[in-house]
Structure formats: structure tokens, C-alpha cells
Amino acid sequence: MDWTDDSEDDDNISWESDEEAKPENSGPPPATNLPTVEQEDHTGPSRVSPADPSRSKLISHFVGMGFVEDMVTKVIDENGERDVNTLLETLLTYKVIGTSTSSPRPSNNKKKGPDDDFSDISSVDFSDADYVENEIEEEDISEEDRKLLTLVEMGFSTDEAASAVGRCGQNASILELADSIHAAQLAEGVEGPEEEFPWTCWSEDESTTSFIFGASTDKKRIRRWSDIDRRKRMKMYSQGSRNEDDEDLPSLSLPNPMIGFGLPNGRPLLTHRKLPEAAMGPPYFYYENVALAPRGVWDTISRFLYDIEPEFVDSKFFCAAARKRGYIHNLPIHNRFPLLPLPPRTIFEAFPMTKKWWPSWDTRTHLNCLQTCTASAKLTERIRSALADSDDPPSHNTRQFVINECRKWNLVWVGLHKVAPLEPDEIEMLLGFPRNHTRGGGSSRTERYKSLGNSFQVDTVAYHLSVLKDMFPNGITMLSLFSGIGGAEVALHRLGIHLKAVVSVEISEVNRNIVRSWWEQTNQTGTLIDIADVQQLNGDKLEQLIHTFGGFDLVVGGSPCNNLAGSNRVSRDGLEGKHSALFYDYFRILDLVKNIMGKES
DNA sequence: CACAGTATGACAGGCACG
DNA sequence: CGTGCCTGTCATACTGTG
């Protein structure tokens, strides 16, 4: 499966285009810049030339993040100070290059040449003489030492790094070593030495680079994810430099591209995080809502949900339709795997019949977010007549009109000059549900659109939940809040995870019927209990349920987005809105479950 | 009454530009 | 760094129809 065929998209992966547009980025060599213990003697602003205030501020900022000053200086020299985002990307790229030389791939750790090491970072020019020179220098460091250095850079102690190499052998990859240390920490029940979230890496695929946040060897300099500093970094990461006055505003920024902690087939998938003590299970939990909520909403949600950083993912990387969502969960994030078969990932793959009628000037390869409303017949007729009356190809204005409406309403081409909204069963397919999942059972067409528009994208959610399969070979007991049409249930079922018991809370009777009907049709052998209102789920009721089922393994829920979604022109009131305030019920119930289960164990 | 159709912007992020 | 422009967004309220 090729996860890179988006490259012709207009929403190119930003670092690709950035790097390609800047061949001069081939600058500083990676190897000598591998952070080492010497790094601890680097200082802040004092060593920075005061000649240029903005420059020295920039340098000390990056140095404070754990980059070596020489490397920072060099990167600024080459890129200028204008685009902080580019600077950070470049610095991180060099860091990753350095890391990758010391971490052979798990499947291929034979002798390797430079090409092997860097083939996945094609956008950087390695013909640079500096690079060759430093590759030679790097040969002087033993393989084991390089791994130790990398682990230390990731925030582990030298003792832990050495023990991990001892346990896993010298041929183990960095990822395996990091996992081993993490597992050892969990087994011992001790707080990790480097606070939570020592580093995070988003990696994509063979043609892209990876990002690492906050790597540093200095314990005191490690930034807690929950600190305000992370906002600064996220802000820089996603938007470049901003007004300093904004820094106190509690506002998380969205990553671009929106790929969460990594995608299927991402290579190498260097993901590892340490959660705050209070966030850890049991039970595991998984919370979802729209990514583009009003300012401050995700900060609040994150603060309530034990300060876990949201994972923002756009489902366009999983299927043919976009769906930008934030997920907060305490699940492990390594060894994820996608649902099979992989769903169609472009419009043409999903709807081959449309290709015949698709005009060349409609360059869409993905649909936008599937919503609860669809275009009217009147609009599609306006489009048809506009095209029928115009030349071939149509004028710029006509094309623009048609394209805008097609994007806005997710229209597809079904005939000459003829566009149409998706049918409910087509949306079911895009979202990963079985065909006719919402059909029948007293569900009207409008209700189907509404239920589907409010649902999970199953493949995306399943990818995150896939880590549960090995952990619960005998199946799981789940509390599903705001179940809707059962996206989480379908995801777990498709993953082959047995559902021992599901307590489903859903206000809509139509949706409850859909889930019940699906449950019966898939011959589930477990128990399904449905409850209409989250308000009914008080401490007594939960205690009773937990007693009956021996606790919950997983608490899933996507609370209502009505007052958060951008489409809402009337009552986009944020988390305090009538519907979206139900988030607090999610938190209340999750916290109750944690407390009750904590007592019983 | 149920259902379908329709009109109804605000707002934030990304980008190019000066 | 500010500005303008473009783009995208799990929706609500009202009206018409049978």
C-alpha cells in the first residue's frame, strides 16, 4: 500500500514541499551534531552574541530546546530568521538523520551504506562534502555507543540505556530498546526518569522526514507536555513564529499534516510516550471530538482528561474522505496496525464509476468532511444547467462556482454535467461501516445522514484501538458513551476483538436500534446493555455495572460536537453549549469508573 | 406529524504578498 | 509582521408537502 500517493494533492505534506523548495537546506552535517553529554555544558543566552536581539533570542530558544548551539547557528545562517517553522523542521531533520544512522531498521540491520540510512529523507541533499566528511568521523563511534547516545538523547538514563542494550542485544533497533525501557519502567511501577513525554516522533512514510520534539539530555531542561512551553512549541511547529503576546493564550495548535502519532506503514514508527500517573489505566479510555473546535476548547478537554495531549488525525489518510478529529486516549501507541482490507483512499478508488464523468478541471482526490446535511436537488440542477449552458471547457467563473459547490457539499460526478450528493450507503462505506448499517429499522434517509455525519471513521479509530488486540486475547468489556451508530463497537469487531460485554449509552432511539440490530446480525455472544441517557449513569449504577462485569477494560466516547463544529451558524457556543457540555459527563463517568475500579482492585 | 428541502455566516487556519 | 484572500467546517431553524 502506498501511503504517499497524496503527493499530487494540493495539501502536500508540508515538509516535503518545504524541503524541496529549499535545496540549500543541505547544510550542516548530521553526525557531529548528535547531542552528547557535552551538550550539558551548553548554556543559554550568555553564550549568544548580543549583536542581534532577535537572532540571539532565536538561538537561545532553540538551545533551550536541547539543540546544539553550533547547529542552531548554522541552520539560521542558511535559512534566515524569518521562518521559525522551517528552522525547527531543519533542526529536527538533522537530529533525525543523526538518530537514523544509529538505529538500523528492525528488519534490515545488516551492513548499511549512507544511501540506506538516508533513503527515506530524499529531500535532503547528501552530496554535500560536509556530509561525507562527517560520515567518516561517525565511523569512529561504535554502533553500541551511538545507540546509547540516542537513547540518552531521548531522555533515558545511561543505566537504563545500557540495561536495555543488555536485554535486547546490540542489534536491537532504537524503537525496540526504547520500548524495552518503557516496559521495564512500567513493570517496576516507577516514574520514568525523564518525566512524561520525553519525546515524540511523527513519522510518515518512505519519502518524508520525521519530527522529534523536546529531545534533551538535561533532565531539568525536559519540558513537560503539560507545561505552557509545549504550547509555544506546538505553536512554532504548526504556524511558525507568532506574536509573543499570544503566548499566554491557552491555545493548542493543530499539527500539519494532521497525522497524529503516526500512520500505518509509517517508517520508522518511532512513537513512545509516558503518560501522567493519573492518566494511566485501568481502564483504558478513548475520547474523540472535532479538531477545529473554538479556541481553548481542546485545552480544557485535555486539562480534564489528565493532561494528555490530543492526537489530531485527519481520516483522509485512512479513507477517501477528510475528517479532522482530535483523540485523547491513554492507549499504547506502538505496534498499531490498520484494519484489513485497507479501504479505498481516493475518490476514484472508492467510486470508480465517477471517473468517466469527472472533468479534468475538478482536481479533487479526496472528499471533504462528511457532514449531517447534503446538497439540495435545486443546487445540483443549478450546476447542471450552468454547465450545459456554457462552453467546453467552461469559463473560469463557471468552473469556480461549480468547484466551490462541489467542495462545499461533497458532490461527485454521476453523469454529463451532473453532480450528486453521496448516498447513505456510500457514506457508510467511506466511514468503514458495513453496507446498510444504518438502513431500515425505522431510520429515515435524513436520520441516516445525520447519524453517519456524527459518527467515527472506523478505520481511523480501529488503528488506534488495534493495540488492544494482543492485550486482551479473551475479549474486552467496554463502556461506550455517546455510542451513536456504534463506531467503536464496529471497529473492535472488525479488529477481531471479542466483545465480552458492551454497555452502550446513546440518547437516540434510532441509533440504539441500529447498534442492537448490528449486534444481532454479527452473532455477538457477549452482552449488550443499552442505556438512553448519560445522566442515568450515576455512581450507584456504575458500581453495579462494574461489579457485574468485573470492571471495564475500555471507556470510549465522542461527546456531542454540535456547539463546537464550524458548520453551526446558530449556536457555536463552545464546551459550555447545550449539547457539547455533555463532555463533562464523559469526564464525570470516566473518573467515577476509575475511582470505583481503583477501590475494588 | 414525519419527513424533506432550503436558506442561513462565522470563524479560524493556511497562504501569498508587501 | 500585518493584511487580505481562500478554504473548510460531526449544524440549526424554518418552511413546504404529503
Closest residue to B11 (CA to C1') is A566
pLDDT of res. A599: 82
For A225-251, the pLDDT digits (tens) are: 333 333 333 333 333 222 333 334 446
For A490-499, the pLDDT digits (tens) are: 999 999 999 9
Task: Give SS3 for A488.
Answer: helix
Nearest C-alpha neighbor of A366 from the set A11, A4, A14? A11
User: Could you give the percent of chain A with pLDDT greater than 90?
Assistant: 52
Q: Give counts: helices (H), strands (E), chain A.
A: 22, 11
Q: Tell whether the model's pLDDT for residue A584 goes beyond 80.
A: yes
A454 touches strand C (CB under 7 A): yes
A14 touches strand B (CB under 7 A): yes
Catalytic-role residue among A201, A319, A406, A561:
A561
In the structure grid, which three cell numbers stand for residue A160, read together? 537504563
Higher pLDDT, A291 or A74: A291
A296 CA, C10 C1': Å apart: 19
A569 touches strand B (CB under 7 A): yes
A314 CA, B16 C1': Å apart: 25
For A428-475, the pLDDT digits (tens) are: 999 999 999 999 989 999 999 999 999 999 999 999 999 999 999 999
pTM flag (> 0.75): no
A404 touches strand B (CB under 7 A): no
Instruction: Write down which residues 229-258 in A have CB closer than 7 A to strand C.
Output: 241-244
pLDDT of res. A73: 77
Q: Tell whether the model's pLDDT for residue A157 goes beyond 80.
A: no
For A159-206, the pLDDT digits (tens) are: 666 676 666 666 665 555 655 655 555 444 433 322 222 223 333 232
In terms of residues, how long is chain A? 601
Task: Give SS3 for A368.
Answer: coil
A565 CA, C12 C1': Å apart: 12
Q: Is A561 a catalytic residue?
A: yes
- Which nucleotide has its C1' atom closest to residue A404's CA? C7
The single-letter code of the amino acid at A113 is G
Ordered DSSP codes for A225-286: TTSHHHHHHHHHHHH-S--GGGGGS------SS-BTT--TT-SS--------GGG--SSEEE
In terms of Cβ atoms closer than 10 Å to its own Cβ (0-12, 13-18, 19+), residue A377 is exposed
- Hunting for cell 528492525 — which residue is that? A106
CA distances from A319 to A81, A202, A431, A452, A566 (A): 38, 20, 8, 15, 22
Instruction: Write down which residues 362-381 in A have CB closer than 7 A to strand B.
Output: 373, 376-379
